[in-house]
Structure 1
Amino acid sequence: MAHEITTVVDGLSFSECPRWHDDRLWFSDFYTGEVASVRADGSDKRLEATVPEQPSGLGWLPDGRLLVVSMRDQKILRREDDGSLVVHADLSGHARGHLNDMVVDAQGRAYVGCFGFDLMGGEPSSPAPLLRVDPDGSVTVEATDLWFPNGVVITPGGTLLVNETFGNRVSAFDVAADGSLENQRVWAELGPLPTEREFEKVLPQVVVAADGSCLDSEGGLWIADATGGRLLRLVDGAIDTEIETGTPVYACGLGGPDGTTLFACAAPDFFEEARRPVREGSIIAMTVDVPA
């Protein structure tokens, strides 16, 4: 089935973490430091927060306050009712490399990944932790051996799925009543685990670079393939649907008035040196059958 693809927002540096919240699409723009929101058609753009150390994952506490990942200084920030940003948690004693994507559960617990190494500095890849931040700001290491833990979602049944961008897989955990993660396992094996560690040698071994993700109402997991220029829907760990986007895509989110608009963050590449000085990033959209 062909999907008509439209551009919703353009003129961005490198957008990530699209979230549908309060009838608006929210997203981070890495190199402008902006968290913004728009209507489904891209109109009425609002600046929601400015994060100088590079915003990434977004989520909301049960009382409606925004949480946003501050990547470079390894913090999670909280937007107060007056619009000010305060430090919700400092993860610098636990994270390795930039912080990354995040999901916040119904109890206000945040689960966030990190790079594990200096991606833009050319360091060899290494495993990274997945961290849990409780509502009081305390930090717990829940896993230590993930290969670039990235997009994170929690299913209605209480399973946490985390994309391993440079591991060719999606891993799963059971979320216990206290928020701890148990029973780590591979949920989707999309290719062999790369054997190389030098970044320029890792990339050719990446079959599916699972970046950002979102869930639909039938349990399908949409993932953005950061090196494949496509969006994939996985069901029970297997590829069910593939949409070629004609451009590299790095994250996706379902939303719109009826929940069937699949938004995706697009850019020519993901390298900071190339993306920071220009505004070639965009958010594209298409209609799918199964809603959020």
Structure 2
Amino acid sequence: MDEQQSSARELTVVLDGFSYLECPRWHDGRLWVSDFYTDKVVVTDGRSGAGAEVVAEVPGQPSGLGFLPDGRALIVSMRDHRLLVRDEKGQLSEHADLSSVVSGVLNDMVVDEQGRAYVGNFGFDLMGGAALRYTTLTRVDPDGTVTTVAEDLGFPNGMVILPGGVLVVAETFAGRLTAFDVGADGGFENRRVWAQFGETPDTEDVGEAAERLQVGPDGICADAEGAIWVADALHNRVLRVAEGGTVLDEIPTGTGVFACMLGGDDGRTLFLCAAPSFPEHERRPVREAELLAVRVEVPHAGLP
């Protein structure tokens, strides 16, 4: 990996007392975020001490979040392989059932300007200790139609759509960011590596793969200079990365960080989903997860 700068910036706590926060999204002046093991989606204005409002309860475990053109929220329901839609009254209903096309619990998601949702899945039983398996990305069209759009991905996780219409997905266990050009019909073309962090581990053992990875890219977000902030789930830091893999900046967090999102009034607040670790058996019984914030120079761009 290229040599990077390291930034000592002040991290502030926005929210605490949660189980495991993921998939933060800045939308209409507020940050939405899923709390895995309380089955809740909460929103906050991003100010420290302001508290949070519960906007949805998802018994199937909430994950990826996004928004349709009419403002309704889409929420991934991980364990029952469904995509839910939240109406203006806060009621949830099924938008699509992905159970026929996925091989693991659902994961993160990005929604484009046309309302097409791109959804990842684990591909194997991560928490149960199964062997690592590569998997797919699924597109859900606004009418609920489900289509597999990419295969052979090493744990597809956070995603962004850059302003030029390029979708970039973090492959956590492949140690890379992979890009696709998104066609007018929502299909993918020109698959390529956007950033590679060291060698991809050639093993089916999750623990061994984690030890070998130089970066474990989890949640990601993009900025106005075309760089991508990457939550490194294995090394207690977020990285700002340019296309090609050059690391432009590093912010150590002192704790595990699993997702990030640029937001705030000027788009220059980087929100971080932090917890001491990620295994479910460690996170479910306790309330140690925090939402952190740090100021950066370049504002948000792209989706989400």
TM over 0.5: yes
**Corresponding position: 1:51 with 2:58:** yes
Is 1:14 aligned to 2:14, yes or no? no
What runs of 5+ residues in structure 1 fail to find an aligned partner?
Answer: none
Match of 1:4 in 2: 10
Is 2:100 the partner of 1:105? no
Q: How far off is 1:14 after superposition?
A: 0.1
Deviations 1:90-133 (A, max 9, x none): 01111111100000000000001111100001000010101111
Output the CA distance in 2 between the equivalents of 1:232 and 1:60: 26
| Of 27, 34, 49, the match for 2:40 | 34
In the TM superposition, 1:249-264 aligns within 5 A as: 249-264=257-272
Cα distance in structure 1, aligned partners of 2:148 and 2:257: 29
Contact 2:175 2:196 in 1 (8 A): yes
Q: Which residue of the partner structure matches residue 277 of structure 1?
A: 285
Alignment of 1:67-146 (within 5 A): 67-146=74-153
Deviates more, 1:247-256 or 1:198-207: 198-207
Q: Distance in 2 between matches of 1:13 and 1:252?
A: 17
- Is 1:167 the counterpart of 2:174? The answer is yes
Instruction: Specify which of 183, 187, 192 is matched with residue 176 of structure 1.
Output: 183
Q: Among 134, 143, 149, which residue is 2:156 paired with?
A: 149
Q: Does 1:240 align with 2:248?
A: yes
Q: Secondary structure at the match of 1:157?
A: coil
Deviation at 1:82, TM superposition (A): 2.3
Match of 1:201 among 208, 211, 226: 208
Letter in 2 for 1:138: T
- How far residue 196 of structure 1 moved from its aligned partner, in angstroms, is 1.2
The question of whether the paired residues in 1 share the 8 Å contact of 2:15 and 2:51 is answered with no
Residue 4 of structure 2 corresponds to: none
CA distance in 2, matches of 1:148, 1:182: 20
Q: Which amino acid is 1:203 matched to?
A: A
SS at the partner of 2:240? strand
Secondary structure of 2:173's aligned partner: coil
Q: Distance in 2 between matches of 1:200 and 1:244?
A: 23
Counterpart contact for 2:8–2:252, Cα < 8 Å: no
Shift of 1:206: 1.4
- The answer on 1:219 being equivalent to 2:243 is no
- Matched positions, count: 292
* Superimposed CA distance per residue, residues 61-111 of structure 1 (whole angstroms, 9 cap, x where no aligned partner): 000000000001111000122221101010111111110000000000000
Q: Tell me whether 165-174 or 34-43 shows the greater mean CA deviation.
A: 34-43
2:187 alignment partner AA: S
Deviations 1:132-182 (A, max 9, x none): 110011111111100000001101101000000000100000000000011
Mapped partners of 2:92, 2:259: distance in 1: 25
CA RMSD of aligned residues (A): 0.8
The amino acid that maps onto 2:79 is R
Within 2, Cα distance between the matches of 1:96 and 1:6?
Answer: 38
- Counterpart of 1:142, as a letter, is V
Deviation at 1:44, TM superposition (A): 4.4
CA 44–7 in structure 1, closer or farther in 2 if over 3 Å, else same:
closer
Identity of paired residues, percent?
56
Q: Which moved more, 1:25-34 or 1:41-50?
A: 41-50
